[in-house]
Structure 1
Amino acid sequence: MTMPIWLDKRASLTPGRTAIEAGNVQLSFAQLRQQAQGVATKLLNKGLEERAVLACLSESSVALVVLVHSIPYTGACLMPLNTRLTVHELLYQLQDSGCKFLVYSDSYADTAARLKQELNHLTLVSLAELQALSTAAAASRQLLHDVEEQAVYTIMYTSGTTGHPKGVLQSYNNHWSSAVGSMLNLGLSTQDKWLLAVPMFHISGLSILMRSVIYGIAVVIQERFDPKEANEAIMSQGVTVMSVVSNMLVRMLEQLGERRYPQAFRCMLLGGGPAPLPLLETCVEKGIPVVQTYGMTETCSQFATLQPEYMLTKIGSAGKPLFQGELRILQDGQVMSAGEAGEIVVRGPNVTSGYLNQASADSFEQGWLHTGDVGYLDEEGFLYVLDRRKDMLISGGENVYPAEIEAVLMSHPEVLEAGVTSTEHEVWGQSPIAFVVLRQENVVNQEKLLEHCKARLAKYKLPIAIHTVRELPRNAAGKLLRRELTKLLPIT
């Protein structure tokens, strides 16, 4: 089956509504469509073919939004590139995907040139060039007006925490189902504005652009996250919804101080892994409407989300699957009962069909995606995410979840951030080791933090050392990189 190109349909329904706000730039949906069709025309004239892979290397910008929405008109598929990756890492993704087109912003011109040196067949096109060219040129072939539901719209590589990253295939139907499921859960108002301060090359940022044209709401774009600017957008720019991870929210609360958000702000969508309970409790005290969610690249953003009416009664839960989704907890192939931890397994129309150029038998079974995350369902079917299975450590035969220890450390008033990983132990096999960022230097030492933990954690969960550091390693989306924590250990 086919569906109309979303931007085409939206611009015909509500042409004058604001689509994009970014600094002094404001575009209506009609203007966004005009620019997207113009860019699509230029790409076709440069030789972009249907089903070809077009990579983009750019910071968040209006030009990048236009590029994202130009792709359906061409029949090609878009591969956003993580701007934090090295040339070596980018080369792998370009080669693995068979990419022949790379669109880049001026900030990454040098990187694009280096990639071209390694891949002679690569056609380079700058975003500035696409913007500057006249939109009146005739296309080498006619622009499309509709798309196949199961056609691949985007390819997004996973972070590659072990081995090479995998290209997740995201169809139009995947993105559509994600947007519709989110709307049925969170509701929708024509007054909504979604603040986009997460990278567009991550699914958290890209999915906001999809929702904008499907819902007919404005997106407020900030090139990079800044807690002061994010708070200002909520306080004075009419933002009603924002997507964050825990680290972003912690810093926004610090900057907010004693102030409170206006009543019109209705949803702080919190994802990126288990949220520390102390953070959620602080938000409840300040009246901040935090809605915890669980998702991943493979599910085109959200899969389970807490419904707003349960925010106070189910603190710490990621809610239930979106309308069309199914979720199970498995351990050794058996479905777990309420309260029993196991691997989170999901199925639904927003779940990818697989990975580019890779067999998916290890991850998929009869349509069920094995996420590699650990969690449990309570008696009412609400999901509680414990940790990534690969981050779990076993100490003396007991399962230890770093996220639980991190939450306890962050409940100390002087701890701003915490990260926990494992170290080898002669007796117990593995033991947790912690790293903390303090609100003020030298106000609390390791002994005091350990005493704090002893009152709240079983003995086998206690970190054998707590190191104070200036910052924790995070990826571009703000997620903690636990595998990088040991690099912070002092050299002995």
Structure 2
Amino acid sequence: MFAPLRFLTQQAAERPDAPALIGVDTRWSFAELDRAVAAVAGRLRDLGVVPRQLVATDLKPADDWIVTLALLRIATRTVSLTGTGSAVSMIPDVLLSRPGSRVVHAATVITVDGLWIEQVIAVADETQGVPIVLYPRADSICRVILTSGTTGNPRAAELSVRAVEHRLKHLPDYWTDARPEVNLMSLSTTGGFHTALAALQHGTPYITVDPADARFARATAGVSVQVLCGSPVQIGQTLRLLRERDHSLPDLREVRTAGGAATPTLLETIASQLAVPVRGVYGSTEGGGVATRMLHSGGDPADVGTAISGIDLEIVDEHGATLPPGEEGDIRYRGQGLASGYAGDDSDGSFRAGWFSPGDQGHLTSEGALVLHGRTAEIVNVGGVKVDPAAVDAAVDGFPGVIDAGTFLIEQVPGVPELGLAIVAEASCDLRALDRLLRQRLPGKHPTVFGQVSVIPRNRMGKVERTRLTAEFRRRLGLD
């Protein structure tokens, strides 16, 4: 039996009344969740959903988890589209969508919401439960996760049964353990999906309530939330909203962050507001966790730590030859939790001979720590000077009055690229002083186009969508 379903069955038998799923105004025990999953699986089979189909979900978080487990129970390939916006590169066989929403086209569309699930459970015949359908092989694809990074080029990473079970086995080493946690990442991300799976394994509740929601305290009553997880942007936004709403997490023991570098300002804020340690995880949808370390204010944000057990990590040159410690090159890694590849074309050759190349550059220290130098796809050439936009973003961190910022590339004169900086700022922010500061910090690599925006466009992992900023400022400047 597929490990997540085995865990659910075991928890329902051994801890039937323990909380398994907590959402806004809803709470399911393990026994209730097990029954709901079986009932929904039966109804979906009656509606024509069959094994090996690609089934997409666009549902509210708690509903999405129940339906996803039901789809795994009948051995489909699942993909969550919640929060992915328009970055969808596939046409599913079946779409399970909330009322009034249809994010992609599909041959079969089934409308699902909480009431639908309740009605399915109410009429289900427990004496005729739908048997669990086994995936035929360990390399069968069970989960597809969309990933586009910051390039706007959507990809669909395919995870096999073997890869998911391997990741589950090693999650306590770097990602999630038996402590109750709130993960701000949605089920459509690898971090959110594996946190939900681990909750089944450890018998802890999967909590889908955002701490910024005024109902958070009531929804999690009786649950000692000990870990807060999310991207640096998600953590920062949550801390600000917790202050505004006068919420607290009295039992919190750790903050865990992934999907980008935690800035010194964020680390200082966590230290002063929460007074808990911070763990940083470097990885990808395609490879899972790769390296980890505890983060401290004043440390090098580019140092992402040493490789996680079971991960082979290398720095190679343009010919694929391994480079010694200290030399910069392309990062690649491999492990049993690696995705099988992309659905469709992999024209970039990201998967090759068992290795995955994430498009990052860096070097290894003599102690084995990985130090990032930037993303190959994002590094731009400005007047003959190579610039990492993320480094410009980081240079703005902590400037008085700046709430958020994003760097982008723009050509006001064809063939003459310039760096632009979009800023979300308070009225008191002195943009001229910021310009002077960046010219001092980044001589020859400073932005020359500035503008204020209401929000920095980011993907679901909090990474800046720079192509959207370029399009916005081209429109503002009348360049289209």
Aligned ranges for residues 93-104 of structure 1 at < 5 Å?
A: 93-94=90-91, 99-104=92-97
**CA distance, structure 2, for counterparts of residue 15 and residue 294 of structure 1:** 36
Judge conservation of contact 1:58–1:83 (CA < 8 Å) in 2. Answer: no
2:463 aligned with 1:487, yes or no? no
- Note closer, same or farther for the CA distance 1:375–1:59 as it changes in structure 2 (3 Å cut): farther
By how many angstroms is 1:229 displaced?
6.5
**CA distance, structure 1, for counterparts of residue 177 and residue 84 of structure 2:** 34
Judge conservation of contact 2:58–2:64 (CA < 8 Å) in 1. Answer: no
**CA distance, structure 1, for counterparts of residue 377 and residue 363 of structure 2:** 16
Which residue in the other structure is 1:324 paired with? 310
Judge conservation of contact 1:277–1:315 (CA < 8 Å) in 2. Answer: no
By how many angstroms is 1:344 displaced?
2.1
2:429 aligned with 1:444, yes or no? yes
Judge conservation of contact 1:103–1:124 (CA < 8 Å) in 2. Answer: yes
Q: Which amino acid aligns with 1:59?
A: K
2:62 aligned with 1:69, yes or no? no
Which residue in the other structure is 2:141 paired with? 152
| Secondary structure at the counterpart of residue 201 of structure 2 | helix
Judge conservation of contact 2:380–2:387 (CA < 8 Å) in 1. Answer: yes
By how many angstroms is 1:84 displaced?
5.1
Provide Cα deviations, 1:298-354, integer angstroms capped at 9, x if missing partner: 124x33222x4x646855233223221122222312334444433221111111011
- What are the ranges of 5 or more consecutive residues in structure 2 without an aligned counterpart? none
Which residue in the other structure is 2:23 paired with? 22
By how many angstroms is 1:392 displaced?
0.9
Which residue in the other structure is 1:33 paired with? 34
The one of 329, 352, 362 equivalent to 2:349 is 362
| Secondary structure at the counterpart of residue 456 of structure 2 | coil
Which residue in the other structure is 1:251 paired with? 237
Provide Cα deviations, 1:416-462, integer angstroms capped at 9, x if missing partner: 21111123487995432211111x21x233320022223332x1211
Judge conservation of contact 1:21–1:221 (CA < 8 Å) in 2. Answer: yes
By how many angstroms is 1:218 displaced?
1.4
By how many angstroms is 1:107 displaced?
4.5
Q: Which amino acid aligns with 2:97?
A: Y
Moved more, 368-377 or 276-285: 276-285
- Which structure carries more helix by proportion? 1
Provide Cα deviations, 1:391-412, integer angstroms capped at 9, x if missing partner: 1112343321111111111121
Aligned ranges for residues 292-303 of structure 1 at < 5 Å?
A: 292-300=280-288, 302-303=289-290
| Secondary structure at the counterpart of residue 274 of structure 1 | coil
By how many angstroms is 1:261 displaced?
5.7
Provide Cα deviations, 1:153-177, integer angstroms capped at 9, x if missing partner: 1112323865763321112222232
2:235 aligned with 1:238, yes or no? no
- Note closer, same or farther for the CA distance 1:107–1:220 as it changes in structure 2 (3 Å cut): farther
- What are the ranges of 5 or more consecutive residues in structure 1 without an aligned counterpart? none
Q: Which amino acid aligns with 2:54?
A: V
**CA distance, structure 1, for counterparts of residue 410 and residue 315 of structure 2:** 28
**CA distance, structure 1, for counterparts of residue 434 and residue 447 of structure 2:** 10
After superposition, the CA RMSD in angstroms is: 3.3
2:93 aligned with 1:106, yes or no? no
Judge conservation of contact 2:39–2:129 (CA < 8 Å) in 1. Answer: no
By how many angstroms is 1:13 displaced?
4.3
Q: Which amino acid aligns with 2:6?
A: I
2:164 aligned with 1:175, yes or no? yes
Judge conservation of contact 1:299–1:350 (CA < 8 Å) in 2. Answer: yes
Normalised TM-score (structure 1): 0.84
**CA distance, structure 2, for counterparts of residue 188 and residue 33 of structure 1:** 22
Which residue in the other structure is 1:201 paired with? 188
Aligned ranges for residues 33-432 of structure 1 at < 5 Å?
A: 33-60=34-61, 62-83=62-83, 85-86=85-86, 93-94=90-91, 99-108=92-101, 111=102, 115=105, 121-127=107-113, 128-133=115-120, 134-136=123-125, 142-144=131-133, 148-159=137-148, 165-185=154-174, 188-189=177-178, 192-222=179-209, 226=212, 238-257=224-243, 264-286=251-273, 287-300=275-288, 302-306=289-293, 308=294, 311=296, 314=299, 316=301, 317-332=303-318, 333-358=320-345, 362-424=349-411, 430-432=417-419
- Note closer, same or farther for the CA distance 1:264–1:177 as it changes in structure 2 (3 Å cut): farther
2:454 aligned with 1:470, yes or no? yes
**CA distance, structure 2, for counterparts of residue 170 and residue 44 of structure 1:** 23
The one of 431, 434, 439 equivalent to 1:454 is 439
Moved more, 236-245 or 413-422: 236-245
**CA distance, structure 2, for counterparts of residue 408 and residue 313 of structure 1:** 14
By how many angstroms is 1:186 displaced?
5.5
Q: Which amino acid aligns with 2:180?
A: K
Provide Cα deviations, 1:191-230, integer angstroms capped at 9, x if missing partner: x2221333222223222211111222212212x6747777
Q: Which amino acid aligns with 1:100?
A: D
Moved more, 153-162 or 137-146: 137-146
Q: Which amino acid aligns with 1:289?
A: P
| Secondary structure at the counterpart of residue 56 of structure 2 | strand
Give the share of equivalent positions with the same residue, in percent. 22
Normalised TM-score (structure 2): 0.86
How many equivalent pairs are there? Answer: 468
Q: Which amino acid aligns with 1:74?
A: I
Which residue in the other structure is 1:11 paired with? 12
Judge conservation of contact 1:419–1:434 (CA < 8 Å) in 2. Answer: yes
**CA distance, structure 2, for counterparts of residue 394 and residue 68 of structure 1:** 44
